[in-house]
Structure 1
Amino acid sequence: MLVDNGVHGDSRVQKEARSAAEAGWDVTLLGRSPDGHKHEWTLGQAQVRLVPVPMPLAKRPHEFRRHWLSAPLAYPANGVGAYRTQEVRAWRADLALRRAAGPTGLRRVALRAESFAARVTRRWVRLRREQNEKWRHDRRKLDTPVDRLYTWFWLTVRGDRAWRRLEPALWDYELALGPVVDKLAPNLIHANDFRMLGVGARAKLRARAKGRDVKLVWDAHEFLPGIRPWSEHVRWLPAHMAHEREHARYADAVTTVSDELAGMLQKAHGLPDLPAVVLNTPDDPGAAPDGEPAPDLRALCGVGPDTPLLIYSGAAAQQRGLDIMVEALPRQPGVHVALVVNRPTGAYMTGLVKRAEELGVADRVHLLPYVPHWHVVPLLSGADAGVIPIHHWPNHEIALITKFFEYSHARLPLVVSDVRTMSRTVQSTGQGEVFRAEDLDDYVRAVASVLEDPERYRSVYDKPDLLDRWTWRAQAEVLDGVYRRVLAE
C-alpha cells in the first residue's frame, strides 16, 4: 500500500491498512518520512514503513542560474547573498564596538571613513539581495510568457509524458519508493491518490517484465482536474493531470470516495468498470486499539458543559473556510470555537489567531492538534455542533467528506455550507442547517438555529440504519471484495 505522506493524520489510509490486515492480507504500508529518517511501526497486523524521499528535482533549473536580463545585479543562487549580508552585519557590529571604545585622533578619522564604507556596502548588498527577491518573485508562478511557451511546447510535443519536464519532482517519489516496492515483490499494489498511481504503475510494469503478474488498485481520493493546486506555479495541475492520465490505464481496479466521482473518473480515463466506492467513514464504536480513553474536548478548551461549543475538525486551509467561524464570534456572545487541525501553528492558523485578537475574541478560539483517528468521534461528541464551512471548489461539491461522517457518528447537529452533495444530504436527513458558503450573515443564522434546539437535529440519528451504512466495517468489505476480484482475475 502506497501513500505520499507520513501516514499519521491520514485516517483513510490507516483504516485501509489495518482492516486489510485483519481480513488476512499481508500488508506493508509505505509512506514518506517527514524528517529524512526511516521509521517503522505496526497498525494492528499491518506493517508501516516510512522512507526518506529527497526532493532535489523539486528545484527548477532557473533557480540555479543567474538572470542577467531581469535581475542583472542579483547574486548567484549559491548562498553568497546570505553570506555577504551576514558579513556586513558583522562588520557594522565590530565598528559599533570600536566606536564605543572612544578612539581619538587619526583612529577616529579612519573609523568614520570605514563606517561610511560599511554603510555604502550595506546598501549595495541590500540592492543585490532585492534583485534576488525580484526574480524569485517573478518566476514563482512560472506564468511569464517564456514559462507559458515552455509549458505549451512540452504538452504539445510529449502529451501525457510532458510531466517529466513540467513536474520532474514526481521522479523523486519513484526513485525513493520504487526500489522498496520491487524488493517487497507484492502480488497487489494499492496506490493512494495521483502521485502514488505512477509509482504503483511503474512497479507493475517492472514486475511484468520479470514475468510476475502484479495487480494495481488505484484509490482516487479526489478528482484531480477540480483540485486546488498544492503549489502556486501554473504547471502543477497540467503536469499532475498528464501524469495521472499516463498511468491510469494500468490500474486493474479503481476505488474512490463517492458515486459522482466514480462516474467522473470513468469518463475522464475511459475506465472499463465503474470505480468501487469506499467511503471514509469512522471506525466502528469500541474499535480503539490502544485502549486509552479519548481526550475530553471541553477540558482541553477549558469550558464547562453549558458553554456553547462549535467544532471544526480537519485540514486547515483558506478554501476550508475556517475564517467565517472566527469572524462570526463577535455576533455570537458566549459561543466558543474549537479547531482540531493538522497544523495548529501553520501560517493560516496563525493568521486566524491574529484576526481573533483584533476582534477581541481570542479567548473563545481554541486550537487543538489531531488525535488518533479512533479517538476522533469521542472527542467530537463533546461539542454542541459540527461546522463544515468549505468553499465552492469542484472537489468539495461531489463527495461527503470525512468530517461529515465523523460528526454524524458523534451525533452532532451540523452547520454546513451549500456545496452540492453535502447540503443535499443534510437537507434530506434533517441533521443540520445549510448556509450559503462565505456568507457571514447566513452562517450566523444557521448556527443560531442549531444552538436554539440541538435535540431536534440530534434525534435524526435515532432513525434505523442511518449510521449503520456509514461505518468502516461496510467499507472494508467493499475494499476486500475489490482485492479478491482483481487477484481472481
Structure 2
Amino acid sequence: MEPGSASRPTRGRIVMLVDNGVQGDSRVQKTARSAAEAGWEVLLLGVLSNGAQESWRIGDAQVRLIRVPRSLGQHPSQFHRSWRRPLAYPPGRHGGYRVQRMKAWQAAIEERRVARAVARRSGGASLRHRVADLLAPPALLTAKALGRWAKFRAGELHRLRKRQQDPDALFTRTPIRFWQALLGPRSWRRLDRGLWDYELAFGPVIDELRPDIIHANDFRMIGVGVRATRRGRARGLDTRLVWDAHEFVGGVLGRADNPRWLPAQVAHVEEYVGTADAVVTVSATLAELLQRTHRLPVRPDVVLNAPPRPVAGAQLADGADVRARCRIDAATPLLVYCGGVNPTRGVELMIDALPQLPGTHVALVTLHPTASNAASEALLARAVAAGVADRVHLLPYVPHWQVPTFLAGADAGVIPIHHQPNHELALITKFLEYSHARLPIVVSDVRTMADTVKETGQGEVFRAEDLTDYVRAVRAVLADPGRYRAAYDRPGLLEGWTWETQVEVLEGVYRRVRPDLAPSFADRTVAVAG
C-alpha cells in the first residue's frame, strides 16, 4: 500500500524511524508488521547502504530506505590543525604523501647512481657522469634530511591523533566539559554534528508523509522524531511521538576514535526525551533506569523483543534445522549461539572450551548476508588453532520468526556476554528465542538474565569470562537437559514471552497517544475479514 492509498480503511499513519537498514532488526520488523495488521498505515524509514534494496514490504507495512550522507559525522580533528603539536602535518593525506615523496626522491637518486656505476663498468662514463658523481652526495644528504623531517612531522600527526583519542587527556576532556557546562543537554550540537546528518536526510521525508504518530527507534532517532513532531503540530497536525529505547545510551560503548561521541549521544537523548508523548523500552529494569535517569513522570511501557507465538506444524523453509545444517546426528551434543559477534559477546569462550568438552559441537548462527563476517571468520581461525575446527559450524541467519524452530534441535543455547551496562538490563532477543525453542540456557552472570534463569530453573549461570565455570555449567546442562527443559512447562511462562502479548502493550500505547484514532467497529470488521 503506497502512502495515500485508499485500498482499505486505515486508522491513521504511523511513520517509524530507525538508524539501520531494517533487515537485521527483528524488533523493528515485528513492530511494523503488527501495527499494519492492527489497521495502521505504516511506513518504516531506515538507512540505505550501498547495494541495499531501497523499498520493500513487511506484511502490509512499507519499508523505505533513505541515503544518509555522513558529511558532518567526523571528529573536528579530521579537518583542523591543532596547536598542541604545531609541527604535525595537517589532517588528511598530506603527511603520507610527503613521506612517500621523499622516499621516491631517494629512490630516484639511487637509480641514477646505479646507472652511472653501470656506465663506468662498461667504459661509457662521460664528463656529465663525473659531474653527477660530485653532486650526488649533497643531493642524497638533502633527500635523507628532508625524509627524516617528513617522517617526524607525520609522526607528530600520529601522536596528536592518539592524544586526541585519549578521553583522559587534558586537552581532550576540557572542550567536552566546557560545552557540557555551557550548553547542558544541547551540547551534542557542538560535540557531534553528525546527528544533524540524520535530520537533513529524514526530516523532509517525514514532513511529506504527514504522520499521525512517529515511532522513533533508539537514541539517534529521538531528535529527528521530536523535531518532525513539532513541525507537524506547527502545521496544524496532531502528530504524536513514541520513543522506543532499545538500550540505555549511557551504557553504550563509546567510539575509540572519538571521545566526544558518547557524551554527545547522552546529551542528545537528555534534551529530547521529556518531549516524547510516550516511551517504550525492552525490559522492566531499563524502564526503571530511564525513569530515574531522565526524571520521567510516567514509567516507560515494556515491550519485550519476544519471538512470535510458534505456529503448530510450521515448517522451516528448506526443512533443515540447526542440527541438520551441521550434519550431525541426534546423539552428538550441540551448543548454539545465535546473533552478532563482537569482543563483548564472549563467543570466544565457546571455542576455547571445546578441548575440555570432547565430542561437543558448537553452531554459530551469525553470518549476516549484508554485513562483514570478519568477526565470525576470526572465531573459525581460533577453532583451527585450537584443533577443534571440525566441531565448529558457521551458519547464516534465518528469518526471525523461524529462529526458535530452527534452534530447537540443539541441546543448549549459550549467552556468554561480558559485563557491560546494557548487558545487565534486559532479557535479550536470543534469550527469548532459546526459551521458545525450549533449550536449556547457559548464561553468564549478567544481572537480569542470570536472575531469571535462577528463578525459572531453565538453565545454568556461570561467571562471565571464566572458562572453568563455563565448562562446569555446560557439563551440568548436558548431563540432564530434561531437568532444565521442564521449566518451560510452567503455566504462562512462554506465553508472556510472545510477541503477540507485547503487541497488546504497544497497541495500548498508540491508543493512549491518539485515542481519536482507535479503530471503529467497521474498521475492526474489515480487519477480521482481511
Same fold (TM over 0.5): yes
1:48 aligns with 2:48: no
**Distance in 2 (alpha carbons) for counterparts of 1:252 and 1:157:** 28
* CA 1:410–1:279: 2 relative to 1, 3 Å: same
Q: How does 1:205-354 map to 2 (within 5 A)?
A: 205-231=230-256, 233-286=258-311, 292-293=317-318, 295-341=320-366, 345=372, 348-354=375-381
Query: In 2, are the aligned partners of 1:71 and 1:135 still within 8 Å (CA)?
Result: no
1:181 aligns with 2:206: yes
**1:13 matched residue in structure 2:** 28
**1:77 matched residue in structure 2:** 91
SS in 2 for 1:27: strand
**Distance in 1 (alpha carbons) for counterparts of 2:319 and 2:68:** 33
1:381 aligns with 2:408: yes
1:437 aligns with 2:433: no
TM-score by length of 2: 0.83
Query: How many angstroms does 1:416 deviate by?
Result: 0.8
The percent of aligned pairs where both chains have the same amino acid is 55
**1:356 matched residue in structure 2:** 383
Query: How many angstroms does 1:424 deviate by?
Result: 1.8
* CA 1:290–1:251: 2 relative to 1, 3 Å: farther
Query: In 2, are the aligned partners of 1:426 and 1:432 still within 8 Å (CA)?
Result: yes
Query: In 2, are the aligned partners of 1:391 and 1:417 still within 8 Å (CA)?
Result: yes
* CA 1:289–1:213: 2 relative to 1, 3 Å: farther
SS in 2 for 1:57: coil
SS in 1 for 2:236: coil
**Distance in 1 (alpha carbons) for counterparts of 2:320 and 2:25:** 19
Greater radius of gyration (CA): 2
**2:13 matched residue in structure 1:** none
SS in 2 for 1:433: strand
**Distance in 2 (alpha carbons) for counterparts of 1:117 and 1:37:** 52
* CA 1:345–1:96: 2 relative to 1, 3 Å: farther
Letter in 2 for 1:270: R
One of 59, 71, 75 as aligned partner of 2:74: 59
SS in 1 for 2:514: helix
**Stretches of structure 2 lacking an aligned partner (at least 5 in a row):** 1-15, 517-530
SS in 1 for 2:275: coil
One of 340, 348, 365 as aligned partner of 2:392: 365
- Count residues with an aligned counterpart: 488
**1:392 matched residue in structure 2:** 419
1:39 aligns with 2:54: yes
Query: How many angstroms does 1:298 deviate by?
Result: 2.9
Q: How does 1:410-425 map to 2 (within 5 A)?
A: 410-425=437-452
Query: In 1, are the aligned partners of 2:336 and 2:407 still within 8 Å (CA)?
Result: yes
One of 126, 129, 133 as aligned partner of 2:158: 133
SS in 2 for 1:386: strand
Query: How many angstroms does 1:387 deviate by?
Result: 0.4
Q: How does 1:471-482 map to 2 (within 5 A)?
A: 471-482=498-509
Query: How many angstroms does 1:458 deviate by?
Result: 1.9
* CA 1:124–1:369: 2 relative to 1, 3 Å: farther
Query: How many angstroms does 1:118 deviate by?
Result: 7.2
* CA 1:69–1:399: 2 relative to 1, 3 Å: closer
**Distance in 2 (alpha carbons) for counterparts of 1:337 and 1:97:** 57
**Distance in 1 (alpha carbons) for counterparts of 2:364 and 2:140:** 52
* CA 1:100–1:9: 2 relative to 1, 3 Å: farther
**1:203 matched residue in structure 2:** 228
Q: CA RMSD in A?
A: 3.0
**Distance in 2 (alpha carbons) for counterparts of 1:58 and 1:359:** 41
**Distance in 2 (alpha carbons) for counterparts of 1:80 and 1:144:** 26
**Stretches of structure 1 lacking an aligned partner (at least 5 in a row):** none
Query: How many angstroms does 1:475 deviate by?
Result: 0.9
SS in 2 for 1:78: coil
Greater mean deviation of Cα atoms: 141-150 or 438-447: 141-150
**Distance in 2 (alpha carbons) for counterparts of 1:394 and 1:164:** 25
One of 180, 185, 196 as aligned partner of 1:160: 185
* CA 1:221–1:69: 2 relative to 1, 3 Å: closer
**2:12 matched residue in structure 1:** none
**1:447 matched residue in structure 2:** 474
**2:526 matched residue in structure 1:** none
> Deviations along 1:242-287, whole A, 9 cap, x unmatched?
1111111111111111122222222222323221111111122249
**Distance in 2 (alpha carbons) for counterparts of 1:170 and 1:328:** 42
> Deviations along 1:384-422, whole A, 9 cap, x unmatched?
110011222232222211111100111111101112221
Query: How many angstroms does 1:293 deviate by?
Result: 3.5
**Distance in 1 (alpha carbons) for counterparts of 2:312 and 2:201:** 34
